[in-house]
Every structure is written in structure tokens, then in C-alpha cells.
Amino acid sequence: MTLRALRRAAEERLSAAGVDSPALDARLLIEHALGLSREDWLVRGDEPVPPDAAARVDALLERRAAREPVGRIVGERAFWTLDLSLAPATLEPRPDTETIVECVLDALPDRSAPVRILDLGTGTGCILLALLAELPNATGLGIDISAEAVATAAANAARNGLAGRADFRTGVWGAGIAERFDAVVSNPPYIPSADIATLDPEVRDHDPLRALDGGADGLDAYRAIAAELPGLLKDGGIAALEIGQGQADDIRRLLETAGLPVAEIRPDLSGIERCIRAAKPV
């Protein structure tokens, strides 16, 4: 079988398994298994694939057909301008979460300022590290309840040349943090407990439950964070939180009850309200 024929067969196999993006996933898995670049498809497409190489591809396709995400299979995921390693204790970063990064960057009057950023529930560190990559004089602290997530985020900072400006440690939201920050960001768990079973298998079976389950109404983490934000933000500081579909009004009330007027609710690329931004009055 040639490389091009292998790719066609892989696409058909993943399509039959109900995978949403069979062509892209087939290409990524074959490239990972065989150590190929995008350019190799142009010059090596008619080369035969040795049986041992085809077997490596088959093993990865079997996992993807069982609905394990590509990022979990290859152990990494692109986010913003970064390449990030994953771990069982971390969510797989998704493009929707880049809405938070955009929202914060647009709200900062001076991207060269020495701002301090706090990331609550940092996971892979994706939000904090994406912001640091765009803000050359910013520094940040990422907090996660999982020691494995903290270690993964620290490794991702080093991988992307940001270790000198990012610290990570274990904790429960903002508990015990005395410092005040220019910006606080978070992608907290927001799926109502009863809805977990209805999620796509890529999420339900492979993302950590603790990072998905937001309690009976999906708002448990927001209640905790909203109560802590006034003590975590400097005067004039901003908070940007990822939210689930249909949650904007409830989370707005939580933030405004805490004394943080909401300045913006920003949709993601699908038009779903995805980020809520509030500010602490000066």
C-alpha cells in the first residue's frame, strides 16, 4: 500500500467510526506514526509503506476509532501559538478557550506593561502561557488542584521559552493568595453534573471529570471564584472567565453581586457566548 492509499483508507475508517474530522485526524496520526512532515505528502505519496510502519499507523487509528482524541494519542495539542503537552489530569485545550486570550489582550491598554496575571485551574497552562507569549513584560502564576497538572504546566512553560516568567503551584482556586493581580483568568468546570453522560466520548471518557463537572447547575466554581476575585484583583484589574452555553446571565449576576461590573460577554467563533469579562472598580 502506498502512503497516499494508506491515508485514504485511514480517512474511510475514521469516517465510518463517526469521527468528526476524519481527513485531518488521519493525516495527523499518520504523520505522527511515521515521522512525516506536511511536505512529505507531496514528494512521497506514491512510496510503499513498510508493514511495520503500517502496523504503527493501524494502532493509532484503532485508538482514534474508539474516540480517543488525537491530542491524547500523540500527547500534545496546539493552542494559540504554542505546542503544549497533555496529561491525564489536564483538559485538552480547545480553540474556544482562545476567546479568553483575545478578550484579555483587547482589554489591556498597553501590551508592553509589566502586568501580573493569575490563572485559576491552569491545567496545561494554556491561557496563561498564551498571554505571556503576547505580553513581553508580563509575569504570571498558575494554580491547579492537581500536582500532575502543575507539573505539566511548568513543563509547557519551559518548552515554550516562558519558564522565567511563569510560576505554578497547587491550590484550590484563589485560597491563601495574598497578592493582587492586574488580570485573573480561568476556564473552570461548568458542565452540570447530570449532563456529563451526554458529552461526546472524546470529552466524557478522556478529559478529567474534575475539570468538567461544575455541580448541579454548573456554577459551583463560579460561585467560589466570584467571591474571591475582589481580593485577588488590583483596583481596575480585570477578570476573564470561560463560560458554558446559556450561563452568561447567571454568571453576570454572580460577578456583579461581588462588586465586579461586567464589561463584555464575548462569543467564540461559533457565535456561542464563551467569555465574560468584568473589572474591579478603581
Instruction: Choose one of 40, 74, 108: the last residue of a domain.
Output: 74
- How does residue 114 score in pLDDT terms, banded at 50, 70 and 90? very high
pLDDT for residue 193: 97
Are 162 and 197 part of one and the same domain?
yes
CATH of the domain at 247: 3.40.50.150
Q: Is 122 a known ligand-binding residue? A: yes
pLDDT for residue 80: 97
Q: Is 124 a known ligand-binding residue? A: yes
Task: Count the domains in the chain.
Answer: 2
Q: Is 222 a known ligand-binding residue? A: no
Distance CA 112, CA 36 (A): 38
Give residue 116's identity as a one-letter amino acid code: R
Q: Can you say whether the dihedral through the CA atoms of 99, 119, 80, 59 is positive or negative?
A: negative
pLDDT for residue 109: 87
Distance CA 128, CA 153 (A): 9
Instruction: Choose one of 54, 74, 94: the last residue of a domain.
Output: 74
Q: Does 70 score more than 90 pLDDT?
A: yes
pLDDT digits (tens, 9 = 90+) for 6-63: 999 999 999 999 999 999 999 999 999 999 998 999 899 999 999 999 999 999 999 9
Distance CA 106, CA 100 (A): 10
Are 65 and 178 part of one and the same domain?
no
pLDDT digits (tens, 9 = 90+) for 237-248: 999 999 999 999
Write the DSSP string, 11-74.
HHHHHHTT-S-HHHHHHHHHHHHHT--TTHHHHHTTSBPPHHHHHHHHHHHHHHHTT--HHHHH
Cα three-residue angle 209-211-215, rounded to 5 degrees: 75
Q: Is 160 a known ligand-binding residue? A: no
Distance CA 124, CA 162 (A): 13
- How does residue 3 score in pLDDT terms, banded at 50, 70 and 90? very high
Instruction: Choose one of 74, 94, 128: the last residue of a domain.
Output: 74
Using CA atoms, how far residue 200 sits from 20, 63, 85, in Å, is: 11, 15, 22
Q: Is 93 a known ligand-binding residue? A: no
Region 87-113: mean pLDDT is 95
Q: Is 173 a known ligand-binding residue? A: yes
Q: Is 121 a known ligand-binding residue? A: yes
Q: Is 125 a known ligand-binding residue? A: yes
Q: Is 123 a known ligand-binding residue? A: yes
pLDDT digits (tens, 9 = 90+) for 193-231: 999 999 999 999 999 999 999 999 999 999 999 999 999
Q: Is 176 a known ligand-binding residue? A: no
Q: Is 187 a known ligand-binding residue? A: yes
pLDDT digits (tens, 9 = 90+) for 127-173: 999 999 999 999 999 999 999 999 999 999 999 999 999 999 999 99
pLDDT digits (tens, 9 = 90+) for 257-269: 999 999 999 999 9
- Residue range(s) defining the domain that contains residue 17: 3-74
Are 50 and 132 part of one and the same domain?
no
